[in-house]
Amino acid sequence: MSGPPPIEVRDLRKVFRQTTTGQSVVAIERLDLNIAPREVVAIVGQTGCGKSTFFDLMIGLEQPSGGSIRIGDKSPYSDFDYFRGRMATVFQQDRLLPWRSAIDNVRLPLELIGLPDEVQHERSLSWLKRLGLEKFTNAYPHELSGGMRQRVAIARAFVVQPDILLADEAFGHLDEVTAAELRETFLALAREFGSTAILITHQLEEAIGVGDRIIVFGKSAALLADVRVAAWPKSEYLLLREAIQATLQSNRPDPRLAR
Amino acid sequence: MHREEQRESVLDPRFPRQTLVSILVFAVVWEVMSHLAPSLGIPAFAIPSFVRIGQSLLTITPIDVAVTLARVIGALAVSFVLGLVLAMAMYRSQSLENYLHPLIRILMAVPVVSWILFAVLWFRGVEFRIGFVLVAVCGPVFLIDSLDAMRGVPRELRGMMRSFRPTTLQYFVKLMLPAIVPNIITSWKINLSLAIRVVTIAELVGAVTGIGHQLAVAQELFSVADVFAWTLVLVALLFLLEAMVIHIENRLLRWRA
Ligand SMILES: Nc1ncnc2c1ncn2[C@@H]1O[C@H](COP(=O)(O)OP(=O)(O)O)[C@@H](O)[C@H]1O
Ligand SMILES: [Mg+2]
């Protein structure tokens, strides 16, 4: 196993031109970022600061207006097909296909890769089991609770054993207990399989609890802070939390974060 | 929409009492009128009794029913495939849509009679004429409905699907088509009733088989009973086809709450 490739973001820029008004929105001004293989990174930032746009660029759904994202020696946009089965996303809300049963939703990415039917079935089934859904394999999404649906979505992301996992506010809409439980599951699995994981969140507790690193975005994805959580003893988490909070509120790096 | 619901309710296995009552009242009034007609100065053939209509029903030739049915199903199948393929192409290409959309709107405004006249003037083969008219009338309905439905597929689902990097074919087969099945079924219902009504008019021109042709024959014979009988068959045929579509709908849309 060679492990996931490093991620290199250089001078990344994304501008949206509104077709209706003709105005342009600078979603990402100029972002530089390196993410090492197997790192677990939390991104925090206020609504509208460009987090989801960054993910769209990471996934390759959007073309950068400037700069580049390199994953290993490939670009997720130009080498779109190369990343089939190598990258997976868990979205805010589950985004399951309502006409597919739980197991058929999990199997979707495997179908796209074109694995043999039995392999698809076995793998999907074993992932549903891992996530405690063995009794609900044939249930349709509308028959499942929000937490169960998000479990299916997690299974769907892991089933391809991706190098890179993305989660965009994947647990924010669930009640706290369920959210915490699923977050734990997600991270444990990511570590077990040695994937690089990037989680967008607007909850600081979540960010501090999950990440090796916390990246704080300001307006237009300005890099306000890049915190190595290991540098902070558990006893100072409260301070860390306050410093990040202050950073977000002032849109300026808080001096306490410099260590 | 309201008419659609009413028509479905006729097929309801519970068969609402009001439906039964209204049909019975109509039948009784008709029968009474048929007996009173001569004394009212109305010619007897104009309002035939149900015995007379029953006799006509016995003379219904299944081959004509089958021919008309085959024309409707065949033309709808062609319209469906053409409409869907064009809709997918227009979904993929904004410029293709910009060029074709106005044209299709214009086509949809052309009266059926004009299509029939064009068909007669342009083509010789009877089957081709009938098929042309049906496809010209029903194809655009399939096209516009599926295109609108594809545009209505939630952004979130499209983003999710693309994040797993499907090929274009996979994108349509695994996301777009299943997502628009409810709309496709609605288009089939609309087009079935449209096609059943249009096919008979189209068959009046040149066809020597089919229900439309038999209606023309009945008219030449001044046989109201025959017209009534063939019309009954036509309506029954439509109900039957709609019942089949509803059956398929219930099977395909089991996933819905
Ligand atoms: N497709 C788009 N077209 C135009 N503007 C967009 C588009 N996507 C995002 N934006 C704008 O870019 C900015 C960043 O949005 P987003 O990345 O969704 O923020 P976040 O996920 O951090 O809340 C917002 O101002 C948003 O309105
Ligand atoms: Mg967002």
pLDDT tens digits, one per residue of A180-218 = 899 999 999 999 999 999 999 888 888 888 888 999 999
Mind telling me how many Å the CA of A78 is from chain B's nearest CA?
A: 12
Phi, psi at A70, each rounded to 5° = -115, 130
Mind telling me how many Å the CA of B161 is from chain A's nearest CA?
A: 9
Q: Cα separation of B186 and B142, whole Å?
A: 10
Tokens of residue A29, six digits? 């001004």
Q: What is the mean pLDDT of residues B21-26?
A: 93
**Lowest mean pLDDT segment, chosen from A82-96, A184-198, B4-18, B86-100:** B4-18
Q: What is the mean pLDDT of residues B129-139?
A: 96
Report helix, strand or coil for B43: coil
Query: In terms of residue numbers, what domain contains A120?
Result: 94-161
- pLDDT tens digits, residue range A29-48? 999 999 999 999 999 999 99
Give the contacts of A42 (CB within 8 A, at least 6 positions apart). A198, A199, A200, A201, A206, A207, A208, A210, A211, A213, A214, A215
pLDDT in the model for residue A243: 95
- Give A86's contacts in chain B (Cβ within 8 Å): none
| Structural domains for chain B | 61-256 (1.10.3720.10)
Check whether B8 has a pLDDT greater than 80.
no
Half-sphere exposure of B165 (CA within 13 A, CB side): 24
Selecting from B156, B162, B167 the residue whose C-beta is nearest the C-beta of A61 gives B162
Taking CB atoms within 8 Å and a gap of at least 24, the contacts of A24-32 are A26/A220, A27/A53, A27/A220, A27/A221, A28/A53, A28/A54, A28/A57, A28/A220, A28/A221, A29/A219, A29/A220, A29/A221, A29/A222, A30/A66, A30/A67, A31/A67, A31/A221, A31/A223, A32/A223
Q: Cα separation of B48 and B224, whole Å?
A: 7
CA A71 to chain CA mean position, Å: 15
Examine residue A126 and state whether it is found in any structural domain, yes or no: yes
Whose C-alpha lies nearest to ligand 1, atom 18? A52
Give strand pairing partners of A13. A66
pLDDT in the model for residue B207: 86
Question: In chain A, what is the greatest distance between 2 CA atoms, to the nearest angstrom?
Answer: 56
A123-140 core/surface letters (b: 16 or more CB in 10 A; e: else): bbbebbeebebeebbebb
Q: Do A142 and B256 touch (CB under 8 A)?
A: yes
The CA dihedral of A53, A54, A59, A64, to the nearest 10 degrees, is: 80
% of chain A residues with pLDDT over 70: 100
Q: Do A111 and B174 touch (CB under 8 A)?
A: yes
Examine residue A114 and state whether it is found in any structural domain, yes or no: yes
- Mean pLDDT estimate for chain B: 91
- pLDDT tens digits, residue range B202-243? 998 778 999 999 999 999 999 999 999 999 999 999 999 999
- pLDDT tens digits, residue range A64-104? 999 999 999 999 999 999 999 999 999 988 999 999 999 99
- pLDDT tens digits, residue range B111-124? 999 999 999 999 99
Phi, psi at A9, each rounded to 5° = -105, 120
pLDDT in the model for residue B13: 57
Check whether A178 has a pLDDT greater than 60.
yes
CA B135 to chain CA mean position, Å: 11
Check whether A163 has a pLDDT greater than 50.
yes
Q: Cα separation of B11 and B96, whole Å?
A: 41
Ligand 1 pocket mutation pick from A16, A31, A166 by most atoms within 8 angstroms of CB: A16
Quick one: DSSP state of residue A215?
E
- Give B174's contacts in chain A (Cβ within 8 Å): 108, 111-112
Tokens of residue B235, six digits? 């309506």
Give the contacts of B249 (CB within 8 A, at least 6 positions apart). B182, B185
Residue A73 C-alpha to ligand 2 middle, in angstroms? Answer: 27
pLDDT in the model for residue B44: 82
pLDDT in the model for residue B66: 96
Examine residue A113 and state whether it is found in any structural domain, yes or no: yes
Check whether B16 has a pLDDT greater than 90.
no
Residue A47 C-alpha to ligand 2 middle, in angstroms? Answer: 7
pLDDT in the model for residue B11: 54
pLDDT in the model for residue B3: 46
Report helix, strand or coil for A168: strand
pLDDT in the model for residue B4: 47
Q: Cα separation of A119 and A125, whole Å?
A: 10
Q: Whats the size of chain A, residue-wise?
A: 259
Selecting from B156, B255, B257 the residue whose C-beta is nearest the C-beta of A95 gives B156
Contact A106, A155 (CB under 8 A): yes
Q: What is the CA radius of gyration of chain A?
A: 19
Tokens of residue A5, six digits? 């490739």
Check whether A54 has a pLDDT greater than 90.
yes
Q: Do A98 and B174 touch (CB under 8 A)?
A: no
The residue among B3 and A44 whose pLDDT is bigger is: A44
Check whether B31 has a pLDDT greater than 70.
yes
- Mean pLDDT estimate for chain A: 94
- As for ligand 1, residues whose beta carbon falls within 6 Å of it are A 16, 18, 25, 27, 45, 47-53
Quick one: DSSP state of residue A65?
S
Check whether B9 has a pLDDT greater than 50.
no
pLDDT in the model for residue A146: 94
pLDDT in the model for residue A199: 95
Q: What is the mean pLDDT of residues B192-199?
A: 94
Q: Cα separation of A50 and A48, whole Å?
A: 6
- Give A52's contacts in chain B (Cβ within 8 Å): none
Q: How many domains does chain A have?
A: 1
CA B148 to chain CA mean position, Å: 20
Rounded to the nearest 10 degrees, the angle between the axes of helix B224-252 and helix B177-204 is: 170
Examine residue A28 and state whether it is found in any structural domain, yes or no: no
Q: Do A80 and B165 touch (CB under 8 A)?
A: yes
Half-sphere exposure of B209 (CA within 13 A, CB side): 13
Q: Cα separation of B77 and A90, whole Å?
A: 39
User: Would you place residue B133 in the very low, low, confident or very high pLDDT band (cuts 50, 70, 90)?
Assistant: very high
Check whether A21 has a pLDDT greater than 90.
no
Q: Write the ipTM.
A: 0.92
pLDDT in the model for residue B14: 62
pLDDT in the model for residue B134: 97
Whose C-alpha lies nearest to ligand 1, atom 13? A27
